Amino acid sequence: MVSVAASEFLTTATRCETAEALHASLLTFAQALGFHSAMFVNLANAGGPVLPKVLLGDLDPWIDYYTEQNFARLDPTVPMAFRSRTPFTWRSVERPDAPRPVREFFGEARDGWADEGLIVPIHGPFGEFSVVNLLCDEPIKLSKPEIGIIQAACQLYASLGLTLATGALPLPLDNLPALTKRELQCLFWMCVGKHDVETGRILGISAHTVRGYIDSIKVKLGVETRPELSIRAQASGLLVPDRHGMF
Amino acid sequence: MIHICTARNRHLYADQLRTMHRQRYELFVKVKRWNLTVRDDGEYDEGDDDRAVYLLSLDEGGSCFGSIRVRPADDFSMVIDRMAHHVQGDAQALREDPGLWEMARWINIGGDPAASQEVRIGLIEYLLRRRATQCLALPDVEMMAYALRVGWRLRALGAPTPYPEGGIAVAVSLPIAATEVSYLRDLTGRRDPFLMEIDPDAPWAGLPLSIIETAYRDAAKAAANGDQLAGMADEHLRQAALGKVA
């Protein structure tokens, strides 16, 4: 059921020429799964403050109210969206022992918007964070594989939506740290878990030389450890697929 | 530059192809844990035959850091013959299009994003020359999402479908059309030619690839199109082969 709906959604979505048509096709997909509405919200750009902004979807009065009240400071789904790589429901982050303002926030959300929501985190390749909210009035009963397919469909919807709304990315980015090709190669293999000896074997250089390249990158990026380097590389767009490819 | 490596000039790229297969082994077998055939420290599949064309990105030293395989899909296709369940409906029906090709095994290790632009544009330009009309692929969802963001207008052929090794892939088709090339060139501002195919009968074909690569790079700065690029590089390389220039 989810697979058929996702297939129909994607074959339509990849042919849409407007953001509105794309969103309408997501809505059809979502409704087939029991959701009544959907919304694509940008939460923050890399390193920027949390400023939720609806990119695609119906502008329910609740959204204006949410913004006016600055509910993002109370809403536990916001920090969860940053932490999580997989979709989660409102109920999964709602704690009965939460502070009263948080409980009141959920109460108001249910009165004014929806009873339950599935939040699909979208981690963009350049450190940007957004979510696709799928809303319903019944408890969500989807299996893990079904949620995986929904996540994939939402990820592609987000990518298509951004492209239609703001245009494709031309690249190359010119604000990235200047690393040599060899440094980038060493960085990539380090980030996928290779130790220096293995990287050296792949690149035809010694482990000692690999270590030298990694040390040089650490200096250029202003970090001291390899885990920090890995995180910084990810967040700064040094590991976008353009720099490693693969399918 | 994107080197077009066909059955005809493949012997000139022995080292680069060995590196490519080794990188494929490291990435697809060891990192992504795909269940693929390994021999001689490299990953190979049924598509690596005489009909395969490799588009290779080489650095100044002639080492291969990026590659993608394209191949006509009329007699073998990963999507149609091995992963048909990723396609909604009858996957074999895709073969009714005589211009059907397939791409697979894209790698760009530490490459400048400009090299990826060259692959995205050059692949379509090359397939246009071969009279292709669409090119199948089976990327992971993350890769497809990224490709859509950077200008490949991929069409989905089915639902995102999990595969046993742990990812979710989508069968897609890339339209091969002059309009797609124009769109990508306008998007990126790239006007330079970057496809090069070494004629194995050229008197300079035996020169080191680093020298050939440099000659083409230099020529690309002044050439307005692929024909001019080939002509200018040929002239320079003939001189080099005669020992008249360094």
Q: What are the boundaries of each domain within chain A?
A: 2-166, 173-243
Amino acid A243: pLDDT: 62
Compare B245 and A171 and report the one with higher pLDDT: A171
Q: Is the pLDDT of residue A246 over 70?
A: no
Q: Is the pLDDT of residue B220 over 80?
A: yes
Q: Is the pLDDT of residue B246 over 60?
A: no
Task: Compute the average pLDDT of residues B127-138.
Answer: 97
In angstroms, the CA A41 to CA A30 distance is: 16
Task: Compute the average pLDDT of residues B170-188.
Answer: 96
Q: Is the pLDDT of residue A176 over 70?
A: no
Q: Give the pLDDT confidence of A96-148 residue by residue, as tens digits.
A: 899 999 999 999 999 888 999 999 999 877 777 899 999 999 889 899 889 99
Contacts of B141 in chain A (CB under 8 A): 152, 155-156
Strand B53-58 vs strand B64-72: parallel, antiparallel, or unpaired?
antiparallel
In angstroms, the CA A3 to CA A181 distance is: 41
Cβ-defined contact of B156 to A192 (cutoff 8 Å): no
Q: Give the pLDDT confidence of B61-99 residue by residue, as tens digits.
A: 888 999 999 999 999 999 999 999 999 999 999 999 999
Amino acid A244: pLDDT: 63
In angstroms, the CA A8 to CA B140 distance is: 18
Cβ-defined contact of B109 to A3 (cutoff 8 Å): no
Task: Compute the average pLDDT of residues A156-181.
Answer: 80
Cβ-defined contact of B106 to A13 (cutoff 8 Å): no
Q: Which two tokens stand for residue B172?
A: 């897609």
**Does the domain made of A2-166 have the CATH classification 3.30.450.80?**
yes
Q: How many CA atoms lie within 13 A of B180 on its CB side?
A: 26
B203 vs chain A: nearest CA distance in angstroms?
Answer: 30
Compare A85 and B21 and report the one with higher pLDDT: B21
Instruction: Answer whether A126 touches B (CB < 8 Å).
Output: no
Contacts of residue B15, defined as CB under 8 A and 6 or more positions apart, other chains included, come to: B62, B64
> Which phi and psi angles does A37 have, rounded to 5°?
-155, 165
Task: Compute the average pLDDT of residues B203-218.
Answer: 93
Cβ-defined contact of A149 to B168 (cutoff 8 Å): yes
Residue A131's SS3 state is strand
Cβ-defined contact of B110 to A183 (cutoff 8 Å): yes
pLDDT band, very low/low/confident/very high, at A245 (cuts 50, 70, 90)? low
Q: Is the pLDDT of residue B142 over 70?
A: yes
Contacts of B107 in chain A (CB under 8 A): 244-246
Contacts of residue B29, defined as CB under 8 A and 6 or more positions apart, other chains included, come to: B36, B38, B43
A-B contacts at Cβ under 8 angstroms:
168
> Which phi and psi angles does A45 have, rounded to 5°?
-95, 170
Task: Compute the average pLDDT of residues A4-17.
Answer: 93
Compare B150 and A127 and report the one with higher pLDDT: B150
Q: Give the pLDDT confidence of A14-70 residue by residue, as tens digits.
A: 999 999 999 999 999 999 999 999 999 988 876 677 888 889 987 788 888 988 898
Task: Compute the average pLDDT of residues B19-30.
Answer: 93
Quickly count helices (H) and strands (E) in chain A: 11, 5
Find the helix packing angle between A100-112 and A61-68, rounded to 10°: 160
Q: Give the pLDDT confidence of A198-208 residue by residue, as tens digits.
A: 999 888 899 99
Q: What is the ipTM of this complex?
A: 0.84
Across all residues in chain A, what is the average pLDDT? 88
Amino acid B139: pLDDT: 94
Instruction: For domain A173-243, give the fold.
Output: Arc Repressor Mutant, subunit A (1.10.10)
Under 8 Å between Cβ of B103 and B137? yes
Amino acid A232: pLDDT: 84
In angstroms, the CA B44 to CA B22 distance is: 10
Amino acid B243: pLDDT: 76
The beta-carbon neighbor of B159 closest among A3, A163, A171 is: A3
B243 vs chain A: nearest CA distance in angstroms?
Answer: 30
Amino acid A165: pLDDT: 85
